[in-house]
A and B are shown apart, each in its own frame.
Chain A
């Protein structure tokens, strides 16, 4: 299964559109793109997960290191449009409480 990541720059905001499955094989690709963005000072990084139907714990690891990195650079990481299956992983692991996460259409985590 493939993963494509493309970045759209919008003023102060970088939008990452991720499409595919995030697992041990594809996560390095996401990390390569995401981490450098989080090191920039005072930025907003929005990750659109609308087209990600599967993510395993390796994917969570990438988002955790991205989160830690944004804290050092005063940037902000937002995950948007999570599908139910992906959202559940954030909920189980308690990460939804320390990350800015918005689910897709049906309900949120609030």
Chain B
């Protein structure tokens, strides 16, 4: 190391001499390489200024006192830059530690909040949920009842990252404690609202859509707590319709009641549930219109539901230059018999 420094110091002196004589571009290219070597060896700016002072004293013999004083002044001004530079490796290491801690948390979250896509007779289900960063603030959950019915939850916590993810665990465990099969979407939301209202910071809230599907009657009932509206695709008329659900977000007002909606689903109809990470995609500075989402869904609607959501995701991932701004969750339920 010392050798590297003294070799480069000699080099610096020679290059400086050349440059003083001829203002040669080659000397400048040379000093660029020397400076890279200095950085690689963690040579601090004040040491370089000092090296320059010494080199100048050898190269020129008619240096003025003014010049020498000014260089000492410059050296003094470099001390804090040197201190700041020495922090870089430390900060880099800290960042690395944090990153690995978060990735452990993220995989733990996956295990904790994991849900299996159930097999439901006559229903093709596709779902994709991708976090913008490592931790996901979106959540979805399937429960298959003993009577063959299916409970579906899709939720989004305000914000993203770790606070959102922590909050989601709370939702998941409250839901686990309910006898879900016996509860209607509106009473599940009513209960969750109370849990959230009591347990989170006033600026925190959660949006959720809860749906319950009964295959025997092809009946879907659902309630929304301020969640991004989903869509119903009517195969017969080949049209999409936005769900006109009303309902306050979870966690704002303790005694909120939720409305429940009901509909019958026919063969090849689709129910599309999503989070605002889908509808608020941006293409550069432009926000996409909801029609664009539907067009893309339509484009891939010949595929099985899982391939469909994956292709829609890929489309918007590309549109946003592979940098998601928000967590992205998309779910498609298609009745296939």
Contact = CB atoms under 8 A, between A and B. Distances in A.
A62 B202 CA distance: 9
A6 B116 CA distance: 50
Contact of B228 (A65, A92, A94, A98): A92
Contacts, number: 59
A94 B160 contact: no
B253 interface: yes
Given A56-B280, A60-B205, A65-B202, A92 B158 contact: no
B203 A64 contact: yes
Interface in A15-57: 24, 31, 54, 56-57
A94 B256 CA distance: 11
A71 B158 CA distance: 22
Interface residues of A, number: 20
A95 B248 contact: yes
A64 B250 CA distance: 11
B156 interface: yes
A65 B203 contact: yes
A85 interface: yes
Nearest to B249: A93
B159 A95 contact: no
A58 B159 contact: yes
Contact of B226 (A31, A58, A65, A93): A93
A98 B248 contact: yes
B171 interface: no
A13 interface: no
Contacts of B229: 92
A61 B207 CA distance: 12
Nearest to B204: A61
Nearest to B285: A1
A58 B252 CA distance: 14
Interface in A84-110: 85, 92-95, 97-98
B248 A97 contact: yes
A64 B280 contact: no
Contacts of B280: 56
A55 to B, nearest CB: 10
A24 B253 CA distance: 23
A60 B77 CA distance: 47
A24 B246 CA distance: 25
Interface of A: 24, 31, 54, 56-58, 60-62, 64-65, 68-69, 85, 92-95, 97-98
Given A58-B158, A95-B226, A97-B246, 19 more contacts: A24-B160, A31-B203, A56-B280, A57-B156, A57-B159, A57-B205, A58-B159, A60-B249, A61-B203, A64-B202, A64-B252, A65-B201, A65-B202, A92-B207, A93-B248, A93-B249, A94-B247, A94-B249, A95-B248
